[in-house]
Amino acid sequence: MPDLTPTVSAVFARHLGIATAEMLSRAGMSARTRQRMVRQGSLDVVYRGTYRLVAVPATLESRCIALCLTYPSGFVTGPTGGKLLVVRRMPAPEPIHFSVPHGLHVEIGDGVVLRQSTSIRPMDVMTRSSGLRLASWPRLAFDIARDVDEFDHASIVEQLLADGRCTFPTLVAVGRRLVHSGRAGSYEFSRTLLHRAGGGALESHPEVIVARLLADRGIPIVAQLRDLVLPNGAKIRVDLTVPKARWAVEVDVHPDHLLLEGTTRDKRRDRQLHRIGWQVERVTPLDLLDLEAIGGELEALYVQRLRELGLPDIRVPSPQRSVVATATGAATLG
C-alpha cells in the first residue's frame, strides 16, 4: 500500500504540503508510517505533531500554515499578514509575526516573532481553507501600527478603506477595544484615525502625505470630493479640497500627468474649475522631495485664497492628540 494514498495526498495538497498528525491519522496514515517517512526524509517535522511533505517546496505561506495548524488559537499578523494580504507599504515579512492568546505555551524556533494578546476575538481572525489564519482587516490595521511610520500607517489605512476591506466605524471600534497606554501601536493607531481628512478614502500614498501636511497646518480638507459638476457637464472627483473656499489640491503622481496628453487634460480641467470659481493647486512627485517647502507653500496659497474671498482664516486645531489613559488603565481616542 503506498504511503501517499489519494486521501493523504489530498490533505497535503489542501494545506500547501503541511499536515498535522491528527489530520494524517484521519486520512488513514498510521503513526508508524509517519515515523518511517521522517526517517527516510520524505516528511519533515516542522513543529511537534506537524509535518511538511518534503516534495512540496516550503514558502512563506506554508510556514505560516504550519504555525496556524500547530497553534489553532493563534494567527499571522503584522508585516507578515500584510504581505500575504497584499497590503502596500509593508516592511519585510520575515521573521513571521504570529499572535497568540496571552499565557499560551508556545514552542517555536528562529524565524518567528511571537506576539501575545489579552484580547483576541473571532472578529479578529480570517481563516482560509488552507488552514492559514490571518488578522482580520481592522485587526491588521491596529497590529501593523507598531511596525511602520506614521505616513505608511496612514497610507495602509486609506488602502483598506478605499478597497472596502473595512469601514472607519469598524476601525474606531477596534481602537476602543484595543487602544491602551501599555499596548504597542496604540498611540500610532490613534494618531492615524485622528488625523484623517473628512470625505472619502485617499487612493495613493502621496495623497496621504499631502493630506497630512495640510491637516498638520489646521487646513480643514475634505478628501475625494465627488460629483463636482463642470460647465461642460462632466462630473469629476478632486483629491483634496476646502469646499467653503473652493480651493483644491490635486496630487499628480501618475506618469500620465507628465505626458502631453495628460498635462493637456489637466489644464482643460483646471480651466473648467476656474469657470465655477475654484482655485486649483497641483503637487508633483518632485514637490514631495521637500515636504516642508511644499507644505508651507500650500498653506500660504490657502491663506491667500481666503483673503481674496474675504473669508476668515478657516482652521481646525491640528489633531496632535495622543492616547489618553483613563484611571482604570483603559484608553480612549481623542
Mean pLDDT (whole number) for 46-55: 95
Per residue in 193-242, pLDDT (tens digit) is 988 888 888 888 999 999 999 988 999 999 998 889 999 999 999 999 99
Strands annotated E in the chain: 18-20, 43-47, 50-53, 75-76, 96-101, 112-117, 125-127, 133-135, 198-199, 222-229, 235-242, 247-251, 279-283, 324-325, 331-332
Q: In the predicted model, what is the mean pLDDT of residues 22-50?
A: 95
* Average pLDDT over every residue of 170-185: 93
Over range 301-323, report the average pLDDT: 79
Q: Return the percentage of the chain with pLDDT > 90, whole number.
A: 78
What average pLDDT score do residues 123-151 get? Answer: 97
Hey, what long-range contacts does 166-172 have (CB within 8 A, 24 or more apart)? 166/137, 166/138, 166/141, 168/193, 168/196, 170/138, 171/138, 171/141, 172/333
Backbone angles phi, psi at 177, to 5 degrees: -85, -40
Q: Which three cell numbers stand for residue 172?
A: 474606531
Looking at residue 82, its pLDDT comes to 98
Tell whether the model's pLDDT for residue 257 goes beyond 90: no
Say what the pTM is: 0.82
**pLDDT value at position 327?**
22
40 has a pLDDT exceeding 70? yes
DSSP-derived letter for residue 230 is P
Please indicate whether residue 186 or residue 260 has the higher confidence score (pLDDT).
186
Task: Please report which confidence band the pLDDT of residue 263 belongs to, taking 50, 70 and 90 as the band edges.
Answer: confident
Phi, psi of 201 (to 5 degrees): -80, 140
Distance CA 255, CA 189 (A): 32
Q: Where in the chain is the domain with CATH 3.40.960.10?
A: 201-309
Query: Is 167 within 8 Å of 192 (Cβ atoms)?
Result: no
Q: What contacts 53, CB < 8 A, 6 or more positions away? A: 4, 12, 17, 18, 19, 42, 43
- Per-residue pLDDT averaged across 113-120, rounded? 94
Predicted confidence at residue 318, as pLDDT, reads 58
Per-residue 3-state assignment (H helix, E strand, C coil) for 139-153: HHHHHHHHCCCHHHH
Distance from the Cα of residue 90 to its chain's centroid: 8
Closest listed residue to residue 228, CA positions, set 163, 263, 272: 272
- Rounded mean pLDDT of the chain? 90
Checking if the pLDDT of 47 tops 60, the result is yes
> Domain 201-309 is in which class?
alpha beta
Residue 328 exposed, middle or buried by CB count within 10 Å (0-12, 13-18, 19+)? exposed
Retrieve residue 328's grid coordinates. 482604570
Q: What is the pLDDT of residues 275-302, one digit of tens each?
A: 999 999 999 988 999 999 999 999 999 9
